[in-house]
Structure 1
């Protein structure tokens, strides 16, 4: 099966540090459920994340590697950009970062570019020597698109804009799998038992492609360019409103208001594949409202979506309330956090958002409860 990657500048800083005899080295993985290892019988042994760690440890046995698992299943690159500081940068200096969201983004170019560019710029602001690689996973929707039109899913093209702009190497697992199936070399069932997630054998294929990619990118010698990059600084962003300054605010940041309660500590047991925070802002009364003051260009919320979820209305800077539907078709099946960006592209500076619980409960919901886990703000 052919390996498809763009070398660009390689992983020059990482390669240079490893060649210099580094004693310690930190690798971070951020992405969705594929990075998390959903589909593997044991994610800590057979996921691409685990296999990549095993490869690096065997290739550089003298190095003490640390691996950061910043995967959150069912989430896209937008939330990745907002949680990057909390889930990756706060874990200490990172030498090598893998980013994998291609099956999670819905195809909105502006959202994907702002998010991926935000991750890159946050990473490079934190550590100019951090090496970054983009990885693109396949799914059955992408397979159909490739078979019918010979194109990859739109998110990959959007990510490639960012990768080319910043000289980031990228690996398309998707193209390798799609071409392999088209050539009769394998079936989708040889890779996955569902529409997205590799099984153990599928992760074996995935890990083999990553290993080839790393063999090339870590062996790429371009030390002069690596040194130059440190002093050249970042180029102008593709999207001026990219999520370079995105972050999470705890739910207690909002002003207290009747009908809402800030619970800390807080626990909720019945959740699909997410680790929840230890606090939440909870309301279940129609019309109950609160105000959040923030500085930035965008604001959103992370809520716990499930069977009893209600909808909300929101108003920016004292304006007219707009409806925001939170309840969706998956809410009837299980609880999981859901990310909603309320507004974007505001003038930089101080703003307010008023949020209230909608009067009408969704038709299939068992209630109108809104549990806010975080506020999302691009400062």
Structure 2
């Protein structure tokens, strides 16, 4: 039996072409990109700048606005802590949302303990923020709005163009975690007035351990102090030896962006088949805009941990990979108004260009069999069916 991989929001399979592009910089052109005195170093440096250009071209930015990091988590810490430090004379107020990634929420919590005031916007039952709530939350002492583009657990899309326009009107910086957006849907930073944006390569078939920050060049430069000090790499924003193979791999993955309509077709097929074959299965946020590859489903009285145990040849998730070891219910689904029991019975399936209809058919068979086994052994399910709970 082939392994069924439906956890692409945690990480995606690296493309073969990406690996081939990386190999020379591991074995042959292995110079330090900062050692431009010799040809191996210069070759590595040239490869880095080529990747920077490729990423800038796909995002609609300039190469000078792209800074390489180890990934989105580092980028988020750099931005939130850096903006807090650089702009605290203007104010100590930051606005974010209750459904943001834990990398944002944990950093905001840390800043809150240092005297910063954090406003956490609510979401409705579909996971959407109220733009009027955002507008009202922005004050004279607000220094940053930090809102993701696509939610990593539900796939819900925030209206980032409208958010950017509000931030422009209110003269406050807008930082967008686009980790789940980039590579799944187009984004043009010439059209959307985002000030700062982060991404990770391993979400779009690139290597792990590499990401990037976009920082818009403005007449009044955005001030973000370095989180990782050392050499003058990345114009002093991030010290340390360049991870040349990973940067090259990200550049190759970026060039291979293809927005496959069949991914959304496969997701919709999965949701339709699941609800047809599984009693009391509900798709979260089905009534709103989502990235095309993500489906978060509630299977009533079947805990996701039990389901995963019953389908060992299938990769799915109970939520964000960054908190998968936690016993706490998903903060995203809780913010959408769900009770703990339904949250614990919710599972995330995230697909890719490698997912096929045959994969979905096989998955539905396995899930149906597992759900039947779990429910037959569950007195709670029997009580629920009899209307006792």
Which category of TM-score, normalised to the shorter sequence, fits these structures?
0.3 to 0.5
| Higher normalized strand content (fraction of residues) | 1
- Give me the TM-score of the superposition, normalised by structure 1: 0.33
Higher relative contact order (CA 8 A, sep 6+): 2
